[in-house]
Amino acid sequence: MNPDLLVKALAAIEPETTLEEFQAASGIASRAVARGALNFLTCNNIGATGKSATKFSGSDRLYAAMLALQGGCDIERVSGCLSWKDFEKLASEALASFGYRTQTNVQLTRPRMEIDVVGVSSGFAIAVDCKHWRRSSMSSIEGFAEKQAARARRLIKQGRASQAVPVIMTLHAESVRFAGGVPVVPVHKFRSFVMDVKGFLPEIYVAG
């Protein structure tokens, strides 16, 4: 599909949308092209077509964004269509699918901190910082990684888990890399990272 159309479609993804609503929200002039864009999304497992409307899950906008990037869409334009809530939803859904109990916007005290998404399973926690970056230098990433490691330590200190892995999830990285032992995981690799997290442990900073 044309990358420009995919970016337009991103803006029109809602929990439930009719073809008319999708066309209006996306700004796609042709009804046939709008229908084609909706069909393209559902054929790629983004959304499900009902009798009168297409239904999208909470993380479908981010999956569509990944599809747009793979199709050659400009990352700046794609990022502009996303919110940090889109990232949180995907992280929560991925963690829950592997049996983690999840919480979003977890508040920590003394000092006051917040973790975007925490998944806990048998005392083992994955603490995710969702970064809605377009681009970022390695030095600034290392600064964010340091702060996330501190949040993971605070999570342990408050008795919410016995071990915690701090993670930064971002849109534009191409593969999993590490900043001070903290994994920086692109959204399209997050699910596989969670599945294999125990295999990464020798390389990861683990609070506990």
Q: How many CA atoms lie within 13 A of 141 on its CB side?
A: 22
Q: How many domains does the chain have?
A: 2
Q: Is the domain of 70 the same as that of 98?
A: no
Tell me, yes or no, whether 98 and 166 share the same domain: yes
For residues 48 and 96, state if they share a domain: no
- Give the contacts of 157 (CB within 8 A, at least 6 positions apart): none
Residues 11 and 74 in one domain: yes
**Which residue numbers in the chain have pLDDT < 50?**
none
- Which residues constitute the domain of residue 41? 3-80
- Tell me, what's the pLDDT at 133? 65
Q: Are residues 192 and 90 in the same domain?
A: yes
135: domain CATH number? 3.40.1350.10
Residue 90 belongs to what H/E stretch?
helix 84-97
In the sheet that 48-49 helps form, which strands lie side by side, from edge to edge?
Answer: 16-17, 54-55, 48-49
pLDDT per position as a tens digit, 76-121: 788 778 888 888 888 998 999 999 999 999 998 888 899 999 999 9
